């Protein structure tokens, strides 16, 4: 932690402002209703959310099994998977923080549906729902959408989380994230916002300046275990944290976000606790990005902003979207 460093003069890269799309329909956008996609398929006239198999999937469901191990040094195996895209709205310009509760609830319901349907496929062991927002995070199209990648083995980060959930439970007979959330709620230094079912915290170990962790208050392992009321409360908290992000630098705040849920191989995973991560790249203005380079690539992450200060800034950012202020 080096909070004194934010004072240093900046001669580095300045990004262009992240401006939200300004048209509700873009004839050149392959995610807008009725338009033709590059692969030839046509996006239908959808009214709410729309899910389709990615025309350029990173993984394929029918790849031939392949495995090799050369001297224990070169180890590899083929990976089967299904990659989908989910448009949040037919409107080209309607991002999460600008959606109303009903529209956002439709997105939450779509996620539950996809997680359940993909998870029920016998060979699918993990379903990753994630959103890249903004060019800075590599989003290839500003039309609000997320991706869903489902595959037959547990990816690296969820594997590490599972190991931590397991070892904490074995040692303390309790849940790692239930205990962590309890502690954060007591300390109330890094909590950004909360409702009856969810809380958002800038985690103690945050690496990105305005990284946050969204936690369910109830110990559940996946979004399909949410009650109807809890889905509304998830809708509520997602809108509130993203409005705060947009307000922070009065920009369409870029981020990668995604849910971590229990693997879908049929086991209960009672140790797993539903949560989502937000990883935003911005550091001190809408144009200045945090780069993970040098010491961070070679040795260890380093922060210029304390997580407490980041939580404070996000708390002060308020929950009326800056574009709605008179
Ligand atoms: Zn569009
Ligand atoms: Zn828990
Ligand atoms: Zn996680």
* pLDDT tens, residue by residue, 17-47: 666 678 999 999 999 999 999 888 999 999 9
Q: Which ligand is nearest to the CA of 214?
A: 3
Average pLDDT over residues 115-140: 92
E strands, 73-118, are 74-77, 81-87
Average pLDDT over residues 276-304: 89
| CA–CA distance, 128 with 262 (Å, rounded to integer) | 10
Q: What is the DSSP letter of 249?
A: T
Quote the ligand 1 centre to 33 CA distance (angstroms): 8
| CA–CA distance, 300 with 282 (Å, rounded to integer) | 19
Average pLDDT over residues 108-113: 98
Q: Give catalytic residue positions.
A: 145
pLDDT tier, 10 (very low <50, low <70, confident <90, very high otherwise): low
Average pLDDT over residues 237-259: 96
Q: Is the separation of the CB atoms in 184 and 129 below 8 Å?
A: no
Instruction: Flag whether pLDDT at 237 surpasses 70.
Output: yes
pTM, rounded to two decimals: 0.95
5/158: higher pLDDT: 158
Quote the ligand 3 centre to 187 CA distance (angstroms): 22
CB atoms within 10 A of CB 104: 23
Laid out side by side, the sheet with 145-151 consists of 50-53, 81-87, 145-151, 126-133, 255-260, 275-279, 212-216, 198-201, 191-194
pLDDT tier, 90 (very low <50, low <70, confident <90, very high otherwise): very high
| CA–CA distance, 235 with 229 (Å, rounded to integer) | 10
Report the percentage of the chain scoring pLDDT > 70: 97
pLDDT tier, 320 (very low <50, low <70, confident <90, very high otherwise): very high
Quote the ligand 3 centre to 274 CA distance (angstroms): 8
| CA–CA distance, 171 with 200 (Å, rounded to integer) | 26
């Amino acid at each position: 932690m080096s909070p004194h460093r934010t004072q240093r003069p900046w001669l580095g890269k300045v990004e262009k402002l992240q401006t939200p799309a300004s048209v509700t329909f873009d004839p050149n956008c392959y995610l807008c209703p009725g338009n033709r996609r590059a692969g030839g398929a046509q996006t239908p006239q959808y009214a709410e959310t729309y899910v389709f198999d990615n025309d350029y999937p990173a993984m394929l469901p029918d790849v031939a099994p392949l495995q090799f191990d050369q001297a224990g040094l070169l180890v590899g195996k083929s990976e089967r998977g299904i990659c989908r895209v989910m448009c949040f709205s037919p409107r080209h310009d309607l991002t999460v923080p600008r959606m109303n509760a009903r529209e956002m609830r439709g997105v939450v319901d779509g996620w539950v549906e996809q997680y359940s349907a993909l998870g029920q496929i016998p060979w699918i062991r993990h379903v990753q729902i994630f959103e890249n927002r903004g060019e800075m995070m590599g989003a290839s199209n500003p039309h609000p959408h997320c991706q869903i990648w489902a595959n037959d083995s547990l990816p690296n980060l969820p594997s590490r989380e599972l190991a931590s959930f397991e070892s904490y439970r074995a040692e303390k007979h309790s849940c790692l994230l239930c205990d962590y959330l309890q502690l954060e709620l007591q300390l109330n230094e890094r909590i950004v916002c909360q409702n009856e079912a969810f809380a958002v915290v800038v985690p103690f170990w945050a690496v990105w300046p305005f990284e946050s962790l969204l936690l369910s208050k109830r110990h559940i392992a996946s979004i399909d275990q949410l009650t109807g009321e809890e889905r509304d409360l998830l809708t509520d908290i997602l809108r509130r944290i993203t409005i705060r992000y947009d307000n922070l630098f009065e920009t369409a705040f870029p981020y990668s976000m995604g849910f971590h849920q229990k693997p879908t191989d049929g086991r209960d995973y009672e140790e797993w606790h539903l949560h989502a991560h937000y990883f935003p790249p911005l550091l001190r203005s809408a144009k200045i990005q945090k780069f993970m380079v040098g010491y961070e690539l070679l040795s260890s992450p380093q922060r210029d902003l304390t997580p407490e200060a980041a939580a404070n800034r996000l708390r002060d950012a308020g929950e009326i979207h800056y574009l709605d202020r008179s």
